[in-house]
Amino acid sequence: METTPSEVYMYDHSPPTVQDIQKTKYCRLTLNELLTVVCATLIPITLGVYTGITSMQEQQQADEMRQFDLSQAAELKQQMIYDKFLDDMYKLEKDGYLADIKNPWSFANARYRAAHRQWDITRKTDALQFLKEHELIGKAKPIDKHTTKAVVDIIRLAELNFDNIQLTSATGTLNQLNFDNVVFDRVSMINAQFSFANLKQTSFNHARLNNAMFLDASLANAHFDSTDLRSADFG
């Protein structure tokens, strides 16, 4: 029985020739080589990206830690300057340098002004409250109207910078923050805020109070002669 060539091809189980094996081997080697090239390319890129991200994170953490350390160092420095000021005032009082006969109290004013120039706004606020509580500023005027003795503050605030200061009562309407009779003449108090503060007979003559806010502040007999009050808010 005769068979057609197609039938012979379909049922041809003869072993592959050397040429067929070489073609198959060649194709397989090409695929392996391609995978090798791809892997060799992607792995360094992946490692580079990972290393870059890790380095950025480490740098960010280092920057944050450095910023925190700087902030802590600045805070510590501020507190040390303030503590030294308190110690200086104690020694001056102990040695009699804050007595009335020591007018004009040069040592006390020199120490206060030297510290003031280095303080942040928080310490400036704390120092003002300390000075007022110890009557180094804002001395009460005598009740006797016939007395001729002028009341002079031991610490002079003139020409100092108090921009952005906030003098606020810790208890709100319950207790006013007492700053009566204080002389703030010729000081800069731009953006200052006075909240629930007693400012009776306080003097702001020739001061700069641009954008200052007076919220529930007592201003009876306060003085504002030649004071810059542009955009000031009196509630």
Number of domains in the chain: 2
Q: What is the pLDDT of residues 121-168, one digit of tens each?
A: 999 999 999 999 999 999 877 655 555 556 789 999 999 999 999 999
The Cα 194–Cα 217 span in angstroms is 7
Instruction: Give the chain's mean pLDDT.
Output: 85
Specify the DSSP class assigned to residue 161.
B
Last residue of one domain, picked from the residues 30, 62, 95: 95
User: 55: which 2 tokens?
Assistant: 């380095």
CB 102 within 8 A of CB 64: no
Share of the chain above pLDDT 90, in %: 60
Do 232 and 162 belong to one domain? yes
Domain that holds residue 139: 120-235
Would you say the C-alpha torsion 85, 87, 90, 93 has a positive or negative sign? negative
Q: Band the pLDDT of 22: cuts 50, 70, 90.
A: low
Q: State the pLDDT at residue 11.
A: 46
Do 76 and 160 belong to one domain? no
Residue 9 has pLDDT above 60, yes or no: no
CATH code (residue 191): 2.160.20
The Cα 128–Cα 132 span in angstroms is 6
Q: State the pLDDT at residue 19.
A: 57
Do 58 and 140 belong to one domain? no
Domain assignment present for 137: yes
Across the range 31-49, mean pLDDT stands at 74
Lowest-confidence segment of 13-27, 79-93, 133-147 by average pLDDT:
13-27
Q: State the pLDDT at residue 85.
A: 98
Domain assignment present for 7: no
Do 148 and 211 belong to one domain? yes
